C-alpha cells in the first residue's frame, strides 16, 4: 500500500479543538448524547469528547453496507443499535467520513424515529464531490477531494486505522 500524508496530526489536533469549542458553544451547556459510528469514528470521537466543555454521554452504532470493496451498493443495515434512550435528548452523530452519504442518511432516518430533541452530525472528513444522497454534516473537520484515505480511525481492509496522521492511498 503506497500512501502520501494528507493531514498531519498537528493539524488534526488543532481542528478537533476548534470543532469541540464550536459544539460546546452551540449547545450552550446542555448535555449531549454522542453517537459514534463504528468502527471508523472511535479515535475522532475519543479526541473530540475530551475537548468538549459540556457534559456528554456516549453510545455507538454499527452499520453494514452491502457491496463489494469500497463501493457502496446502497443497501445498509444496522448491525448494532444504540443502547441509550435518546428521546427528547440532544444527539450528535460522530462519523469518520461522509462519502456517498448513503450510510449516514440511513442512520439519521433510524435515529429520527427515536424522537430526539435535536439531531446533528459531526464528521471528521467530508468527500462532498462523491455525494449520491443529499445530506450535509453540521460540523466538518476537513473537506477533502476524492481519493481513498486511511489513518486516524479510517481503514483500508481493517489496516491503517491506528496511524495518527491521515494518508491518501496512491496505488
Interacting residues with Mg ion (CB under 5 A): 40, 96
Q: Residues binding ligand IMP: what is the number (CB under 6 A)?
A: 17
The nearer residue to Mg ion, 40 or 101, going by C-beta atoms, is 40
Classify each residue of 87-102 as buried b or exposed e, where b means 16 or more C-beta atoms within 10 Å of its C-beta: eebbbbbbbbbbbbbb
Choose the catalytic residue: 47, 99, 146, 165.
99
Peptide bond into 39 cis (omega under 30): yes
The mark string for 96-135 relative to ligand IMP (x by CB under 6 A, - otherwise) is xxxxxxxxx-------------------------------
Tell which one of 12, 60, 72, 82 touches ligand IMP (CB under 6 A). 72
In whole angstroms, give the CA distance from residue 56 to residue 141.
19
Q: Can 90 be counted among the known catalytic residues?
A: no
User: For residues 145 and 38, what is the distance between their CA atoms, to the nearest angstrom?
Assistant: 23
Dihedral sign from CA coordinates of 150, 106, 146, 68 = positive
| Minimum CB distance to ligand IMP, residue 65 (Å) | 6
| Interface positions with ligand IMP (CB under 6 A) | 40, 65, 72, 95-104, 148-150, 154
Amino acid at each position: 500500500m503506497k500512501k502520501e500524508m494528507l493531514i498531519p496530526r498537528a493539524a488534526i489536533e488543532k481542528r478537533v479543538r476548534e470543532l469541540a469549542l464550536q459544539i460546546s458553544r452551540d449547545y450552550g451547556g446542555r448535555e449531549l448524547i454522542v453517537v459514534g459510528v463504528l468502527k471508523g469514528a472511535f479515535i475522532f470521537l475519543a479526541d473530540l469528547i475530551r475537548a468538549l466543555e459540556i457534559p456528554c454521554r456516549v453510545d455507538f452504532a454499527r452499520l453494514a453496507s452491502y457491496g463489494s470493496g469500497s463501493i457502496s451498493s446502497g443497501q445498509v443495515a444496522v448491525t448494532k443499535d444504540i443502547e441509550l434512550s435518546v428521546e427528547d435528548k440532544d444527539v450528535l452523530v460522530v462519523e469518520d467520513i461522509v462519502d456517498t452519504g448513503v450510510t449516514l442518511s440511513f442512520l439519521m432516518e433510524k435515529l429520527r424515529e427515536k424522537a430526539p430533541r435535536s439531531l446533528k452530525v459531526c464528521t471528521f472528513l467530508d468527500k462532498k464531490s462523491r455525494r449520491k444522497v443529499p445530506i450535509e454534516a453540521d460540523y466538518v473537520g476537513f473537506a477533502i477531494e476524492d481519493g481513498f484515505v486511511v489513518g486516524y480511525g479510517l481503514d483500508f481492509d481493517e489496516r491503517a486505522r491506528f496511524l495518527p496522521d491521515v494518508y491518501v492511498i496512491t496505488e
